[in-house]
Amino acid sequence: MPAKGNSLLDSFAMVAFLNRERGFEKVKALLRVAQASGEPLLINEINIGEVYYIAAKDRSMEHAEEFLRRLETLPIQRVANAFADILEAARMKARFPISYADAFAVATAIRTNAVIVTGDPGFQSVSHLVQIDWL
């Protein structure tokens, strides 16, 4: 479990959970804690979009829609982006070798003082900026 702050799921963690891949159990445990404590996990809306297109591309549009329905039942709070947040993510992307969607996760973690939950090795380049709970 992370030592401090909220937990923020990136798309890697969410896909691992949905597909029961490596790291699934850790995400499941974090969801149980979130449910019991009443303090939801966080996920940026851009990362939700990334999970959606991965599900649609790898499986089907129906699977992607099922993900959205399931997301509504989980103790996860969506984090929206104001224009300033979009620019901050763009700055992260310009400075570090991470995907644009990952840049939103980093910017959101900094803004909300959250710990990023991921197994994506791309986050190594920003591990000095944010705390990471590795799957």
Pairing outcome for strands 6-9 and 114-118: parallel
pLDDT at residue 18, as a whole number? 95
pLDDT at 3: 40
Residues of the chain with pLDDT under 70: 1-5
Tokens (6 digits) for 115: 């710990």
Confidence (pLDDT) at 1: 39
Extents of the domains making up the chain: 6-134
pLDDT at 5: 64
Give the CATH H-level superfamily of domain 6-134: 5'-nuclease (3.40.50.1010)
CA 131 – CA 38 distance, rounded (Å): 22
State the amino acid at position 2 in one-letter form: P
**Pairing mode, strands 41-44 and 132-134:** unpaired
| 133-to-10, 39, 48, 116, 121 alpha-carbon distances in Å | 11, 17, 19, 6, 12
Residue linked to tokens 């224009």:
83
| pLDDT number for residue 33 | 96
User: What residues are paired with 114 via a beta bridge?
Assistant: 6
- Confirm if 115 and 6 have CB atoms less than 8 A apart: yes
Distance separating alpha carbons of residues 71 and 74, to the nearest angstrom: 5
